Each structure stands twice: as C-alpha cells, then as structure tokens.
Structure 1
Amino acid sequence: MKEPKQTPIEDLAELRSYFASHNSIREYIAHSSKVHSVGWSCDGRRLASGSYDKNVAIFTLERNRLSQDYLFRGHTGSVDQLCWHASHPDLLSTASGDKSVRIWDTRTHKCAAIIATKGENINIAWSPNGSTIAVGNKEDLVSFIDTRTYKVVVEEQFNFEVNEISWNLSSDLFYLTNGLGCVHILTYPSLELQTVLKAHPGTCICVEHDPTGRYFATGSADALVSLWDVHELACLRVFSRLEWPVRTLSFSFDGRLLASASEDHIIDIGDTETGEKVAEIPVSASTFTVAWHPSRYLVAFACEDKDPPERKRDAGNLKLWGLPNSSS
C-alpha cells in the first residue's frame, strides 16, 4: 500500500512557512561505518542505506519515525550505491566494490540474485520500467543487466571518466555525467549517442531526473547545480548557493524542490520554478547522499560524521529531516 501523497504546496511563501514548522531532524544508528547511499522504496514505507561496512540496512517509516527492520549481509566489499525498483516496493539493487550487483527482497529478507560484474562498482540505476539495471564501475565500464534473467546483456566501455548514471522516465534514454563537465545522452537499448550537453566548466559529478518527467539536474565540481528541461535540453536555471563540489541531488515527489549537498555545512533546498532558496538543512560534515521521500516532504540523508568523543571513527548514521517541530 502506497503512502497517501502529501498535497503539493504551490506557493513559495507557503513552502517556506511549512518548512519553518517542519525542520526537525531525527538521527538513527544504521551502520558501523560511513553510509554511502540512502533511498526510499517506491511506496515510501521503507528506507534503505548502504555502507562501507558492507551491509544494507532496511528501515520502516511509521508516520514520523523510522525503525530498523532488517540488515542484509552478503557483500564482501563496500556498498557504494543502491537503487529500488520504481514500481515494486520490495525489490532493491545494490552496487558494491566486490565486483557484484545484488538484488534483495525485503519481504522474504533474502538475496534474490547475485550478478557478477567486471570491476569495482560505484553507481547503479534501475530503469523506471523495471526491465534493466545499469551499473558503472571504477574503470568507466557500464554494464546493463536484464532483470528477467539477471544476466549482463551488454557492456559499454567509455574512454572518459563516468561519474553518475540515470534514466529518463520512459526508460529509452540513458544519461551519464563525465569528468569534462558534459552529460552524454544515449538511446536505449541501441546505446547510440544522441547528444552531448556541455553542462559545466568543471567535472560533472551527479545527475538526477525528477519524478514528474519535466526536469533533470546536474551537480558539478564548480559547486553549481544546473536544472534542465528534459524535452528542450535547455538549461532553465542555475543554483549557486553551495561553495563546494556538488555530490548528490534529489527531487521532491512533485518536482518542485531540489535538494543538493556537498562538503558545505548545509543541504540546500531550492525551488525548481524560481531557483530561490526554500529551506536549508544544517549539517556538521560532508554530505554524500540525499533522498526525498516519494510522497512526502521528508528528506533522508547521511553525512561523513565522526563518533564522539575522539571523532576518529566514522559514524554510520542516517538522518531524517522535514518532521514537525513539535513531534514527540
């Protein structure tokens, strides 16, 4: 059962007022080492986190709090990125440095498939139609996995630094960002290069599509976030409030809000329609993963926090922001 969608707030002043009374942060211990990736299931009932400790933690959201449900063990290397199935709320994919992709079933608490890949994997993207998982490794090789057979059906070796990968909403275009500040858009499944966008002067680190299919955003080493029109391939506006390389992006369920994070001690929440700041989340360390809830104005994120008192060991915590201030 999907969580009922929060009613989108149209007015910028109303959005700001909403977050002025919904800016509480809750912190949860999830791992014994740094959290690399967080993501929500499509129905919004579960949150997963992948960590350097090789484990995948599954939390259940009950109104305004998370409770840990299960810990998936099996990877023998760091879990660098995870991605849920876009319409199946129990299926989760993870990319690991152990040269494998794993599919987990949160209903049965079992690993449903292990797919061997050629290198240490650093990013993963499940096509919105559910048919294909793309995984990229440290050697800039992208492998495409057919989810009916759980076999690699095609591999594409790129001769430039591939940083992050994403699908468009109709799953027929595949996007990747590179070290030269460009976004390459390829047709799928033919993998013919359709266009190259010069998006940033610096390394283009991340790319994210919004859930409504109107926009995609890119984040760069130049500390800028660019918002693009999917159909026109035109840059609509640039967000320039961060001062460090942009590491991670996430759109709210209605496409209205864009969260961007870096080594800055804030996560910026910007309005996609005007580019203006709606809110900011205070953090005390670099943030490498953020994820808006698929039907509520809630953000899950993880930072490179250190455990007190010596602050030498990485804390494996994840956080939830956007909770009502008076919640118990």
Structure 2
Amino acid sequence: MPLLRPRTSVSVEKFPITFASLKAQSYSDAGQSRGGSSHHSLRSIAWNPVGTLIATGAADKTLRVWNPEKPNVRFSTELKGHAAGIEKVAFNPVKDAELCSVSSDGVVKLWDVRTKSCVNEVKGLGHAHSLAWAPDGSSLLVGSKNGGLFEISPSQFSVVSTHKQPVETYQMAFCWSGQKVFLPTSEGKVRILSYPELEPLLHLGYDVSPGESTEFMLKGHTAPCLTVELSPTGRYLATGGADSIISLFDTKDWICQRTVTRMVGPVKSISKAPLLVAAFYFWVLMASAGFTFDGSYVVGGCEEGSGLEVTHTETGKHVFTFKTAGPCEAVAWAPTRYCLAYSDLGILRIVGMDAEKK
C-alpha cells in the first residue's frame, strides 16, 4: 500500500487562491470519438480507496482504468467485455483493485484490475443504471429504471435478493454503518430503508388519511430526486434533483439546512469516496455534485452550460468555479486530497494541488 501524505483542509479564504492557478491535466484515448454529443459519452468516474487508480465508464462500452500520475493512454488499462453502454462504475470501498461496473443491458461485472480479468458476472437486471457498495464491501445494490433493486454478492453469480419499488429509483447511498440505505425517487423524495431488508425505518408520528402511507420521507425537490450521498462526517445528507438543486439535510433532525442553486441543469449523481481503513472520505459528480474528503465543500456541475461550482458546506457561500470547455457528465473528488476528476467534452481531466507536482 502506498504511503499516504497527511490530509490538509483548505480554508474558504485560501480556496480561490489555491486553485486559480492550477491547470487541468487531460487523459484521453487517441481513438476516442470527438465532436457532436461526445461530451455525453463518459458517464461515470470512480477513484479507488487509496486514490492511486481512477476508472471511467462510457456510453460506447469503454471501461478504462487510469493511473492519475501518468496521463498517457498507454499507461491505462481497458477492461473489455460489456456489450452495452456503461452506466456506473465503483471500486470496492475496502479493496483497492476490485471494480464493479453496470451496463444498460442489465449486466453487472466484477473486475480484478491487477489481472485485467472479470472475476464475476450477474445478468438479467433489466435496464440497470445505478450502483452502490455497502461500506464493508461485502455486498452491493444495483437499481434499474423499472424500480427493481437487486442485492448482489461479489462472490455469487446470481442475485441474492430482489426488491420491487413502487416508483423509479435513482442513485442510492448507504449510511456509514451499512444498516441504512437512502433511496431517491422520481417523486422528488428520499426513502430511508433498513439493509438488507429494505423496509422503511421511520414513520410519521401523526394520523394520515385512509390509504396514505405513514412512511417518513425526505422532501427537498419539486422534480425527481436523482442522487443522494452522505457526507464523510455523517453530518449532512446531500440530495440532487432534476430541479437543478442540491439540498443538504441535517442527519440529526432530518431538516433541510440549505440549498445550492447555481446549477442550470439536473443534478444526476453525487458520488462518495471509497472507504480507506477506518476513515471515510467523499467525492462528487454532476450533472453531479458531492463533498470533498473533509466534508468542507460541495462541487456541482450540469449537462447544460459549463463550469463546476464549489460551495462551502457550512455557510452555503459560493467559493470557486472550475472552468470547463463544456458540460460535465461526471465528476469525482479524490478520496484523500483536493484533486478533482471530471469529464469535459468526452475527455477525463484532473485538476488539483497534487496534480501540479507530477
């Protein structure tokens, strides 16, 4: 395991000064498509738990693992086998070389990136489009567009359990204990379910009209809620919606403390950083948004317009804009430092303090 340098937080005052002079490093395949709607091809980005590898999944079925210190494509690894566009990629939070990918044809693949081999495959999951690992890496959930939720074991070739949701669900997230799952829905709400039972955990403390549910759900959007993530400290739950809003809920009272409204398109995904030893870290995605490893900042971008907007979590103050050439389909903070990976016109780019030292 590589030697990890001490993690240092950056103050609100120093954030713009620190990042204003940094340039993004490009990582691209010479054979990659260009122009037109190419910026929609890179759908998912994921760092491994120690920040030494970064995986990208694309609409053209390309799954690639990069060395962030070596941007030339010859130092990357292409994992071949998917027959449809890749919707989501994620490393096992406790194994730095185990990667999971899910494609739109309902196939989930588990990879050993050291040997470049597929070590497990589960089929028949419908139009799968979301994926979340349990914090201990022992299981994962896959969601499909028809409301299906599938519990999968990395070592089993068939689905462990299947749960049908009443409405379409999007990118879910686990709490850090692994006992709860936060599930965004097309109704703009977030369900809080037990795991692995996937039953409602909280209920309303007052009478409801006949036929209405007593299940307590978080309400923070006027359009479908597309993604949700828990901050590394567990203090906030961030939700992103088709109404272009990121909402931050206090996890003690489940009250929406503040909203981020600078985006001009739907916030589709918020991605968390993998688990490393006993510490928890966090990243971001946009049409995505999410937290830095220390939980101090949230970044957001969208499919419309350009730029990635950084907001201070505690005050809601806008602190910086990362300039991009076009809309960003996916973004992800490194798990241990202020180093941001994002897609821009179909190309992976990384910007950050460490990136300038390579």
| TM-score, reference length from structure 2 | 0.82
Q: 1:143 and 2:183 equivalent?
A: no
**Which amino acid is the alignment partner of residue 298 of structure 2?**
L
Q: 1:286 and 2:327 equivalent?
A: yes
Deviation at 1:289, TM superposition (A): 1.0
Structure 1 residues 325 and 103: alpha-carbon distance in aligned structure 2, compared to 1, 3 A threshold: closer
2-structure distance, mates of 1:116, 1:219: 29
Matched with 1:311 is: none
Task: Tell me the matched-pair count.
Answer: 315
For structure 1, which runs of at least 5 residues remain unmatched after alignment? Answer: 306-315
Q: Could you list the per-position Cα deviations for residues 263-285 of structure 1 after superposition, in whole angstroms to 9, with x for gaps in the alignment?
A: 23111111112111221112232
| Contact map agreement 1:2 1:44 (CA 8 A) in 2 | no
2-structure distance, mates of 1:164, 1:57: 21
Aligned-partner SS, 2:171 = strand
| Contact map agreement 1:48 1:56 (CA 8 A) in 2 | yes
Q: Which moved more, 1:200-209 or 1:24-33?
A: 24-33
Aligned-partner SS, 2:14 = helix
2-structure distance, mates of 1:326, 1:54: 31
2-structure distance, mates of 1:6, 1:279: 24
Matched with 1:255 is: 295
1-structure distance, mates of 2:139, 2:356: 43
Q: 1:183 and 2:186 equivalent?
A: no
**Which amino acid is the alignment partner of residue 261 of structure 1?**
G
Structure 1 residues 243 and 118: alpha-carbon distance in aligned structure 2, compared to 1, 3 A threshold: closer
**Which amino acid is the alignment partner of residue 38 of structure 1?**
I
RMSD after superposition: 2.1
Matched with 1:319 is: 349
Aligned pairs for 1:141-180 (under 5 A) are: 141-180=148-187
Matched with 1:221 is: 242
Aligned-partner SS, 2:267 = coil
Deviation at 1:230, TM superposition (A): 2.7
Deviation at 1:105, TM superposition (A): 0.7
| Contact map agreement 2:339 2:354 (CA 8 A) in 1 | no
Q: Structure 2 residue aligned with 1:197, among 206, 210, 218?
A: 218
Aligned pairs for 1:73-88 (under 5 A) are: 73-88=80-95
Deviation at 1:4, TM superposition (A): 2.0
For structure 2, which runs of at least 5 residues remain unmatched after alignment? Answer: 202-215, 269-287
Aligned-partner SS, 1:19 = helix
Q: Could you list the per-position Cα deviations for residues 161-216 of structure 1 after superposition, in whole angstroms to 9, with x for gaps in the alignment?
A: 21221111111111111111101110101211123111211221121222333222
Structure 1 residues 86 and 324: alpha-carbon distance in aligned structure 2, compared to 1, 3 A threshold: closer
Structure 1 residues 274 and 57: alpha-carbon distance in aligned structure 2, compared to 1, 3 A threshold: same
Aligned pairs for 1:1-328 (under 5 A) are: 1-2=1-2, 4-9=4-9, 11-21=11-21, 23-30=22-29, 31-32=32-33, 34-62=41-69, 68-194=75-201, 195-247=216-268, 248-262=288-302, 263-303=304-344, 305=345, 316-323=346-353
**Which amino acid is the alignment partner of residue 256 of structure 1?**
S
2-structure distance, mates of 1:124, 1:188: 15
Q: Which moved more, 1:265-274 or 1:230-239?
A: 230-239
| Contact map agreement 1:3 1:44 (CA 8 A) in 2 | no
**Which amino acid is the alignment partner of residue 290 of structure 1?**
V
| Contact map agreement 2:120 2:154 (CA 8 A) in 1 | no
Q: Could you list the per-position Cα deviations for residues 270-327 of structure 1 after superposition, in whole angstroms to 9, with x for gaps in the alignment?
A: 1112111221112232222110000110111113x2xxxxxxxxxx411112257976
Q: Which moved more, 1:286-295 or 1:236-245?
A: 236-245
Structure 1 residues 231 and 150: alpha-carbon distance in aligned structure 2, compared to 1, 3 A threshold: farther
| Contact map agreement 2:120 2:155 (CA 8 A) in 1 | no
1-structure distance, mates of 2:100, 2:20: 35
| TM-score, reference length from structure 1 | 0.89
2-structure distance, mates of 1:323, 1:184: 37
**Which of 1 and 2 has higher RCO (CA within 8 Å, sep 6+)?**
1
1-structure distance, mates of 2:51, 2:356: 22
**Which amino acid is the alignment partner of residue 291 of structure 1?**
A
1-structure distance, mates of 2:356, 2:129: 39
Deviation at 1:84, TM superposition (A): 0.8
| Contact map agreement 2:129 2:144 (CA 8 A) in 1 | yes
| Contact map agreement 1:250 1:258 (CA 8 A) in 2 | yes
